[in-house]
Structure 1
């Protein structure tokens, strides 16, 4: 309904007077969004609390502008989802607030508290002894900077779920914690923690060349029946540790081993012909990889990307499915993965045969001589050119930036970021964009704060709703034109118009009257 769209816009309108804000407390067509505003007065907050309405109290609990006193009042309410919201989002507050949340009987409250890095350390540490392994596992995943005694406790937890989370290949925050050296042997012996410990092992070369299982060319059938992460493999004696890790049936173990800073050349070369693209692509980015192996990996991953496994029709076990998904995604890492050693010395790689190396060099464009920058901006690959633009926009001419933006927009990428977000087009370019055939280019014109009124008026009548939506918030748009957008057929355009601070007060009141508020 149009009225819902209009009220949603008013909720976000920064110019909405407090008297109208308080009328919106009674709005039940939304989800209590009015409680998320950062300009709520004490009187308004009190009125919100007395409603007892779950949705609006939950939104208030998520509001970072609330005082510690308000948060403490909310924590004492009987709604567990409100307390869970406080546990997750409270970045400040009295110690009593966090003490209360840490002692909550609700599982979700303590799970969210475990994720919150602003909780006092001693209170957060208590969660490492919580009887629920799910809470301890959550703490292990989110507290990457935990004190060593807490990290040790989690790494040696009796629950497999907790140990796996504490020694994972993925943590919610960087940097990944390094396990204490004396625990690494036991972590390597445990199939659940072996992958997370592999890059921290003290490696000794195998006495004889190791030969990993060579699965079929189809990665969907790469693992042996019954093999996969979390399933036991034959223990390996310390002298044969490298050989055992290279031959491990879990691709995550082999992938993490491929990252090891002191990986022996023999093991490196064996992993370079691993059946998993997700393993090979890690090797691709190593500085110590011989040129012929780098080329072979590049060709393997490119071929793999050209013939991905169909995840919809494939009947794969969970462990193998995870590998296939990562194998399908290896092409992105090949082309866009981080290569710090290339970025640190970019000039030799400006004309590399590998897109990923040229992208890594482009990240350091502002350190390169002008001719090298021109070479990157003339690159045949769009990702190379847009990387220069996003990392060194001051080195890019407007015409080149426009070309990059046009090519990016033409591909209809399903991401919010666009090259123009990194580039300050001059007013003359923006005004030229206003009449462009492509709506994705026309809407850039609105970023000019001094765009002439006739141009704004024309854009407000654009055939594309995305253009009308962005122009609705322009401060120079005539009020009479803004009012026409309130009746737009596209709800998101009407919402944008109602959110404009230029909206007259009588119109705001009229919208509330129409909504029965």
Structure 2
């Protein structure tokens, strides 16, 4: 890979003439970068697809090529991509339905809007992978017809298809009204009874860990049920009985459903497996009484999931903030807190609660400023990137709390250039601050030069347009390929240098 040419191909300031010259000499790596350019002309896209066939699919998905540009025989992958975008010639579907390569028929089976005759052909395909792919994406009537397919893998795909009729999904769970499956992926390949060793050392074995068949296709039947439980179209009455099932995976899938009766949620809240309870804790459908029960759960992951619940009461959330590592994220309940709730949280004696509120970026000026002056460094660290803070406020944060807040102050979109330069020279240095400064829109040349000394910030700084052009040129020969590529993609790279970098035909 030529990292410099890849960077150049992605450079937004590269003139159209030079884009055309790159197209004429592009290899696969450069072509992938060129295919993503917003200013690539139609003629350049056609030329690029002709030179590097692998780029055609990306060009199709980017809307740069049409059916008129593609020969389905010469470029089958691009033609299939057009069919997937509903932009291909409908006649191509008949061509690929008879393609000798099953991989192409499988790709076709996933395309939307297939003609009925093509869907019928694919439904009878001798390769079960093709039929399963069709079953996963097809229309309700075709899915219903495939529910009784003799291969259990096809039924598993039908169970995962959200277009499958509810009554059919219920039948797949119980098996009632459907003929027994005759084959599965396990008994296709192994003499039964067979249980796949999770530590299987066979090089070309792709059976899932734990796959088994004793003639009843039990592992695939389990997978069918799990897919149906995860399918929102499956009727509630068909799934409630799984709350006491012996399979953890089935109970886990059930706990995520938003349509269960309260008593079923209550039973799942007492599940012995923490993962099931954690899945339930994040379920938006559970009510406040159960939320308060789960807030006292001994498992940390359950409480953390509950903190992300969109309807958790503020008082419960304040308690969770003390006992649970939530992470540096804006919680849904904080994002939707009313002005009165926000005011209450801002005045909470619990710094963890104030810290949660400080992660919002749309706070009224009064609350924002009060949190910016908070005595707790964790609160200040959370509020530091909030827009609207003045240079005086940002400098005061650094003066009070030092290295604990420097990186977050540097991330503030309104941090002025002079402050960024000072932060880049802060003693002791703060590594994370260099990365924030390097990506800041108002970073200056001197600040960026300081960032170049940090290994992780160096490739970010190399792509910043405020970096002095002579430095950008020097970085083109950096021993770190990421840095050289970023420098080549820098829009401040001089035009004369861009021309000099062009390979000769």
Q: TM-score range by the shorter chain?
A: 0.5 to 0.7
In the other structure, the counterpart of 2:435 is 443
Within a 5 Å distance, the mapping from 1:197-236 to structure 2 comes to: 230=220
Q: Quote the offset at 1:496 in angstroms.
A: 0.9
C-alpha spacing 1:190/1:16, structure 2 compared with 1 (3 Å)? same
Contact 1:8 1:30 in 2 (8 A): yes
Match of residue 280, structure 1, among 277, 284, 296: 277
Q: Quote the offset at 1:138 in angstroms.
A: 2.8
Contact 2:345 2:354 in 1 (8 A): no
Within a 5 Å distance, the mapping from 1:141-160 to structure 2 comes to: 141=136, 143=137, 147-160=139-152
d(CA) in 2 for partners of 1:422, 1:127? 57
Query: How many residue pairs were aligned?
Result: 413
Q: Quote the offset at 1:497 in angstroms.
A: 1.0
Match of residue 427, structure 1, among 416, 420, 442: 416
Provide, for residues 350-375 of structure 1, a one-character-per-residue CA deviation record: whole Å limited to 9, x for no partner.
4344757x944223136553323426
Match of residue 403, structure 1, among 368, 381, 384: 381
In the other structure, the counterpart of 2:268 is 271
C-alpha spacing 1:383/1:107, structure 2 compared with 1 (3 Å)? farther
Q: Quote the offset at 1:167 in angstroms.
A: 1.9
In the other structure, the counterpart of 1:486 is 476
d(CA) in 1 for partners of 2:121, 2:413? 47
Provide, for residues 286-333 of structure 1, a one-character-per-residue CA deviation record: whole Å limited to 9, x for no partner.
21655785256x21x33xx6xxxxxxxxxxxxxxxxxxxxxxxx6764
Provide, for residues 75-98 of structure 1, a one-character-per-residue CA deviation record: whole Å limited to 9, x for no partner.
331x5444455555x464554566
Q: Quote the offset at 1:493 in angstroms.
A: 1.1
In the other structure, the counterpart of 2:488 is 498
Unaligned runs of 5+ in 1: 172-176, 194-225, 234-239, 306-329, 408-417
Contact 1:31 1:56 in 2 (8 A): no
In the other structure, the counterpart of 2:5 is 7
Contact 2:67 2:79 in 1 (8 A): no
Q: Quote the offset at 1:9 in angstroms.
A: 0.9
Q: Quote the offset at 1:499 in angstroms.
A: 1.0
Q: Which moved more, 1:120-129 or 1:264-273?
A: 120-129
- The yes-or-no answer on 1:374 pairing with 2:346 is yes
Contact 1:127 1:139 in 2 (8 A): no
In the other structure, the counterpart of 2:192 is none
Match of residue 129, structure 1, among 123, 129, 146: 123
Unaligned runs of 5+ in 2: 179-213, 224-236, 373-377, 386-406
SS in 1 for 2:456: helix
Q: Quote the offset at 1:492 in angstroms.
A: 0.9
TM-score norm. by structure 2 comes to 0.64
Contact 2:292 2:316 in 1 (8 A): no
Contact 1:151 1:166 in 2 (8 A): yes
Contact 1:379 1:385 in 2 (8 A): no
Contact 2:146 2:154 in 1 (8 A): yes
In the other structure, the counterpart of 1:65 is 64
Q: CA RMSD in A?
A: 4.7
Contact 1:98 1:123 in 2 (8 A): no
Q: Quote the offset at 1:161 in angstroms.
A: 1.3
C-alpha spacing 1:152/1:455, structure 2 compared with 1 (3 Å)? same
d(CA) in 1 for partners of 2:164, 2:46? 48
